[in-house]
């Protein structure tokens, strides 16, 4: 399998688990991940997953959480305020971007093309270069402004993949739920995975 080069942004919506499971899948698969964390994305990685950034790097944390296999891939981290970064230019060689989880604030910035930080700018670049941009938006309920922003990004070419795990695969753990979302993201990026079993039709007669 060829190595993909992807941007993964983590913003301040609940659901750091989804970011963790996607990063685990990409890194264990040997891919190159350019990571950008917003201030509240970092906060939620600490609060919800137990990252201790004063003691460990993001990669060390992922290795502690998920095992040393994450070192099969490469993780490069960028400051969210650094608009001089290569990710701010379309001349780079990244093949797509995922914002996971995506706050409605970052959704709004992408929808109006604000490019006010590296996450919004990298998303803007991804859209203009016609590369896949996947937004794992998490909020409930949604107001009309947020719904309109979802339509705006979809019209601009982004894929809205709400943080809505399914239950038909009979998840046993939170990680199973996270892997369902990580797997759907990998499907869209054409990355083979075994994060959840494919639905192959009913195994009993309940549906009849």
Q: How far apart are CA 167 and CA 180, in angstroms?
A: 9
Q: Find the shortest distance in angstroms from Cβ 34 to ligand FMN.
A: 17
Taking alpha carbons only, the member of 122, 26, 132 closest to residue 74 is 26
Nearer to ligand FMN, 28 or 118 (CB): 118
How far is Cα of residue 128 from the mean position of the Cα atoms in its chain? 19
CB 78 within 8 A of CB 121: no
In whole angstroms, give the CA distance from residue 102 to residue 100. 5
What is the nearest approach in angstroms of ligand FMN to the Cβ of residue 118? 11
Alpha helix stretches (DSSP H) within the chain: 16-28, 39-49, 58-66, 104-111, 118-128, 144-155, 174-188
Which of residues 45 and 62 has its CB atom nearest to ligand FMN in the complex?
A: 45
Task: Between 14 and 187, name the residue whose CB sits nearer to ligand FMN.
Answer: 14
Least separation in angstroms between CB 40 and ligand FMN: 4
Nearer to ligand FMN, 40 or 66 (CB): 40
Q: What is the largest CA-CA distance in the chain?
A: 59
Nearer CB in complex with ligand FMN: 13/134: 13
DSSP string computed for 17-46: HHHHHHHHHHHHTT-EEEEEE-HHHHHHHH
For residue 181, the minimal CB distance to ligand FMN (Å) is 14
User: Angle at the Cα of 182 (from 3 to 82), degrees rounded to 5?
Assistant: 65
Strand partners, 133: 97
Cβ 105 to ligand FMN shortest distance, Å:
4
Q: Which CB sits closer to ligand FMN, 72 or 145? A: 145
Residue nearest ligand FMN by beta-carbon distance = 12
- Using CB under 6 A as the criterion, which residues of the chain lie in contact with ligand FMN when the complex forms? 11-14, 38, 40-41, 103-106, 138-139
β-pair type (5-10, 32-37): parallel
C-beta of 23: minimal distance to ligand FMN in Å? 17
């Amino acid at each position: 399998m060829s190595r993909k080069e992807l941007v993964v942004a983590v913003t301040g919506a609940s659901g750091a688990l989804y970011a963790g499971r996607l990063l685990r899948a990409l890194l264990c698969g040997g891919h190159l991940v350019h990571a950008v964390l917003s201030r509240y994305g970092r906060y939620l990685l600490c609060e919800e997953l137990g990252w201790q950034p004063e003691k460990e790097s993001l990669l060390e944390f992922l290795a502690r959480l998920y095992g040393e296999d994450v070192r099969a891939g490469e993780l490069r981290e960028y400051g969210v305020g650094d608009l001089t970064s290569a990710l701010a230019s379309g001349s780079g060689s990244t093949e797509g971007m995922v914002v996971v989880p995506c706050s409605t604030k970052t959704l709004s910035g992408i929808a109006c093309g604000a490019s006010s930080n590296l996450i919004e700018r990298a998303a803007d670049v991804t859209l203009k270069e016609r590369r896949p941009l996947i937004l794992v938006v998490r909020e409930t309920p949604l107001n009309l402004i947020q719904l309109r922003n979802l339509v705006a990004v979809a019209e601009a070419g982004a894929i809205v993949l709400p943080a809505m795990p399914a239950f038909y695969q009979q998840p046993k753990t939170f990680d199973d739920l996270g892997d369902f979302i990580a797997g759907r993201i990998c499907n869209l990026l054409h990355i083979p995975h075994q994060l959840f079993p494919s639905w192959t039709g009913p195994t009993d007669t309940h549906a009849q």
